[in-house]
Amino acid sequence: MQQPPAYTKFAASGKRTASGNARQKHQKLEFPAPDRTGITAAERDQKTYETLVHHIIEKTVGYCKMLTDIGVESSPFGHVLSKNPTASPEDVATVYGQLLTGRRGGGAVQLSGLKQRWSRIRRFLESVVLHEDRGVLHTCRFIDTSNYKGFGAHLRWAGAAFHLDWIKHLAEQELIKYRSPGKAWVPARGKLSKSAPHLPDDFLRFLADQCRHPNPIRRRKAFYVYQCGMGGVRFSDTENVIRMSFEGPKDEQGRYMSGACIAFTASRFKTSRGETMEYYALPLHDYTGASLAEAALDLQSQMGGERGGFLLAASLDPRDIESDVKRDDQGCTVPGSYWESTLLVRHFVDLWVATLPAGSPLLQYKERYAKATIHSFKGWLDTFAVQAKFQQDDIDTLLHWSNKAMRRHYNRCPQATEVHMRQKVVALLASGWSSTGVGFQMQEPPDLRTIKPVTVRF
C-alpha cells in the first residue's frame, strides 16, 4: 500500500490553521515582504501585489526546471520563454499577468486569494518533485493528506496561468475534478446551514436611539452597526470605504432637509467585478426624524479614508464598548477586524435586551440574538423587504444584489433610488408595522405607495 507524501508526516507545531487543525512545519508560507515605499496605502498594496506576481513567475520557472530534470517535461509561459528564455518576470507578467490574477466572473483576485492559490500549487509541485510522481493517484493522495477542498479548481488555474499542458490534463480528470479530502466515498447526508440569526426591527430602532448617546465613542460605534443594517452591507464591504459625505439641500439655517443622505464610497465590494468604485447611501434622518449627522461625523473622524480605506477602526479594548481607538506609531488609526465587529454587534444586543420589558416575547429568543453577527442584518433587511412587499428590483437595490449590468452601468444617480427605498424602510420602522420572526403573527403591511418619508425633526 502506498503511503502519503512524506512531508505530510512532519511533526505539528503549536500553531493552528484557520479551521483549527494543527499546522505542520512545512506549511509556513514564504512570500515577499510587503512594500513600504509607496506614499499611499493603495500604492503600497499595488507594489506588494506586483511583487507577488513576479515571485510566483520566478518560483514556477524554478520548479519546472526541477520537474524537467526528473522527466516531467515542463516548459512554463511558453509564449514568452520559448522565444526568449532569459525574459524577466516583468516581461512574463505582461503576457500572463491577467491569467495569473484573474478570477471567474471577471476582475482580479485579492492578494490573500492569490497567496492561497500559489501556496497550494507550490506544495503540490514540491510533492511531485519529491516523489517523482505526477499521476492521478498521487494527486488524490495529496488532496486527502493536505485537506485542500476544491483543489481541482486550483489545478485548472495553474494549468492555464503557467501554460503547462500536463497540469491542464490532470485537472480535467474526473477523479481530480470531483475529489474531496477524506474518505473515498461517504453516504449523502443533509445538513442545516449555519445562517446568521435573524434580528427584530426593534433592535434597529434601538441602534438609531444609541446614535444620539452623549458619549461620542458609543455614538460612532452605534452608527457603524446601524449603517451596516440600514445599508445592507457586509463587514468586508465597509473595510474598503474610503469616503463618507452628506448630500442634499439645506434650509436657511443650514440644516439638512428631507431627502438628505449619507453617501459612502468604497474602493470595492466583496462582490465587485472589475476595477470600479462601489457606492451605497442611507437616509440622514432616522425613524424619529432626528439627524444622524453627529454620529456620522464621529465615525468619519476615525475611519481610514484615502490613506487606508476602512470604516471601523480597531479599539484599544474590543470588549469595552466605550474604548477609544487604537493608533499606530504614526498616530493613525488602524482597521478593525471581523471579530471586533461581531463583538460590537453583540455588545449592543446585550444592551438592547436589557431594555426589554419583563413580559416581552422577544426575551425568549435572547440566546439566539446573542449569536448575531454583521451578516444578520442582510437577513433582517431581506426579510423586512419581502414581508413589506417590496418589488424584487427594489430588494436588489436595497441589498446590492442587482446583476443587471447595463442598467447599473447607465444609471447615473443610483444613490437617489437607493435612498428613496431606504426612506420607506425608515418610515415603516416609525409606522408601528413590524416584520416578524418564525412563530409570531405576521402583519399585513401598508401600501408602499402611500408611505411618506418621516418628518424631519430639528
Query: Which of 434, 428, 419 lies closest to 450 in space, CA to CA?
Result: 428
Query: Are 138 and 274 in a shared domain?
Result: no
- 79 & 136 share domain: yes
Does 173 lie in the same domain as 78?
yes
- Answer yes or no: do 266 and 147 share one domain: no
**Rounded Cα distance, 401 and 232, in Å:** 10
Residue 245's pLDDT is 93
Examine the domain organization and report whether 130 and 241 are in the same domain: no
Is 455 a domain residue? no
So what's the pLDDT on residue 179?
Answer: 87
Number of domains in the chain: 2
pLDDT single digits (tens) 329-382: 888 888 888 899 999 999 999 999 999 999 999 999 999 999 999 999 988 998
* Same domain flag for 361 and 428: yes
Residues in the chain where the model's pLDDT stays below 70: 1-31, 33-42, 105-106, 182-194, 270-276, 306-308, 402-413
Q: Is 419 domain-assigned?
A: yes
Does residue 97 sit in the same domain as residue 138?
Answer: yes
Positive/negative CA dihedral, 119, 121, 122, 124? positive
CATH number of the CATH domain containing 312: 1.10.443
Query: Which DSSP letter does residue 441 get?
Result: P
Is the domain of 251 the same as that of 134? no
Domain of residue 214: give its range: 201-450
The answer to pTM > 0.85 is no
Is 186 domain-assigned?
Answer: no
Judgement on whether residues 103 and 208 belong to the same structural domain of the protein: no
- Judge whether 188 lies within some domain: no
Query: b/e per residue, 436-449, with b = 16+ CB within 10 A?
Result: ebeeeeeeebbebe
* Number of DSSP helices (H) and strands (E) in the chain, helices first: 19, 5
Claim to verify: residue 168 and residue 214 sit in the same structural domain:
no
